[in-house]
């Protein structure tokens, strides 16, 4: 177990990617909106099909209909449409916090984020 003093998903990912060696990394938000049983399927996509990253999907379940934040679902739908149109993809949940990453992706992807999730500017990027 590790403790990351800098707040934010970017700080946690930078440390995890730097310090942990694995064939597959699984990231999940702590809000209990993602079924754990899909972790194995995402890991198989990364390990067996050799994808760099697999993204979970909470919007196909009840999360989309239970979301009460104004404009959140509409914004997600619009952003998803443009990403899928521009990149010829079929991503269902572009803002998902449930992802599996392949080792090669992890060790070569620069995590630059220190914004939307960062509240402690003293930590900056590592």
CA-closest candidate to residue 105, choices 57, 40, 46, 49: 46
| pTM for the whole structure | 0.72
What is the spatial distance between Cα 29 and Cα 97, in angstroms, rounded to a whole number?
A: 5
Q: Which sequence spans correspond to the domains of the chain?
A: 1-54+98-126, 57-95
What integer pLDDT is reported at residue 125 of this predicted model?
44
Cβ within 8 Å of residue 84, ≥6 positions away:
90, 91
Which pLDDT tens digit goes with each residue over 63-105?
555 656 667 677 778 888 999 999 998 888 887 888 999 999 9
Question: Under DSSP, is residue 60 helix (H, G, I), strand (E, B) or coil?
Answer: coil
- Indicate whether 33 pLDDT > 80: no
> pLDDT band at residue 117, thresholds of 50, 70 and 90?
very low
Share of the chain above pLDDT 70, in %: 77
Q: How confident is the model at residue 114 (pLDDT cuts 50, 70, 90)?
A: low
pLDDT, residue 119, reads: 37
Across all residues in the chain, what is the average pLDDT? 79
């Amino acid at each position: 177990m590790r403790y990351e003093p800098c707040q934010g998903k970017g700080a946690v990912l930078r440390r995890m990617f730097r310090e942990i060696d694995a064939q597959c990394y699984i990231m999940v938000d702590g809000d209990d909106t993602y079924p754990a049983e899909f972790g194995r399927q995402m890991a198989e996509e990364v390990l067996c099909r050799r994808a760099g990253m697999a993204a979970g999907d909470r919007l196909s379940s009840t999360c989309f209909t239970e979301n009460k934040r104004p404009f959140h679902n509409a914004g997600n739908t619009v952003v998803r449409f443009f990403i899928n149109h521009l990149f010829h993809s079929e991503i269902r949940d572009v803002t998902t916090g449930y992802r599996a990453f392949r080792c090669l992706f992890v060790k070569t992807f620069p995590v630059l984020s220190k914004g939307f999730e960062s509240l402690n500017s003293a930590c900056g990027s590592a």
